[in-house]
Amino acid sequence: MPVPEIPMSLNTSPCPCDSGRPYSSCCGRWHAGALHLQAPDAQALMRSRYSAFVLDLTDYLRDTWHPGTRPDSIEPNPAGLKWLGLSIKGHARQDDTHATVEFVARSRWQGKGERLHETSRFVLEEGRWFYVDGTLHDK
């Protein structure tokens, strides 16, 4: 599988995950290049997956979703969906291979604001972190 490259237009843009760092030195490292798919911990993977949703990187989302829970297909963003921001509420490592990240992702679609509040579960297998599933919190 060829490793994707970061589009030049994104290299110095702020990272969509709201870290305050440039995309190329934040989530872009995990999306493409030498460190492709190598997020070092669950929180970095969570941030990179949010950025992948913003940038519509469905291959990255598929490749970072655990094969045991991954859906058959991942649909691209609907036309007009605007991601507005990510807030990490907490993260914890249960043991050497399991972690959780609680986050809120905000978006707007068809003129309506949305708020996704989830605690995601992650697992480390063969040196790579994977998203497993998540528990939604009430709005």
Q: What is the pLDDT of residue 138?
A: 82
pLDDT of residue 19: 96
The answer to whether residues 90 and 104 touch, using CB atoms and an 8 Å cutoff, is no
Contact 42, 122 (CB under 8 A): yes
Residue pLDDT tens, the chain, 139 long: 555 665 655 677 999 999 999 999 999 999 998 899 999 999 999 999 999 999 999 999 999 999 999 999 999 999 999 999 999 999 999 999 999 999 999 999 999 999 999 999 999 999 999 999 999 998 6
| The pair of three-digit structure tokens given for residue 68, joined into one six-digit string | 């045991």
Is the distance from CB of 103 to CB of 88 less than 8 angstroms?
Answer: yes
Predicted pLDDT of residue 33: 83
pLDDT of 130 reads: 99
The pair phi, psi for residue 95, each rounded to 5°, is: -160, -165
Please provide residue 42's backbone torsions phi and psi, each rounded to the nearest 5 degrees.
Answer: -65, -40
Dihedral (C-alpha) 130, 135, 137, 139: value to the nearest 10 degrees? 80
Kindly give, in sequence order, each residue whose CB lies less than 8 Å from that of residue 53, ignoring residues fewer than 6 positions away.
Answer: 61, 77, 83, 105
- So what's the pLDDT on residue 10? 64
Q: Is residue 25 within 8 Å of residue 10, measured between CB atoms?
A: no
Interatomic CA distance for residues 33 and 16, integer angstroms: 18
**What is the reported pLDDT for 97?**
98
Q: What is this structure's pTM?
A: 0.92
**Side chain identity at residue 101, one-letter code:** V
User: The domain 8-136 is classified under which CATH number: 3.30.70.100, 1.10.10.10, 3.40.50.720, 3.10.450.50?
Assistant: 3.10.450.50
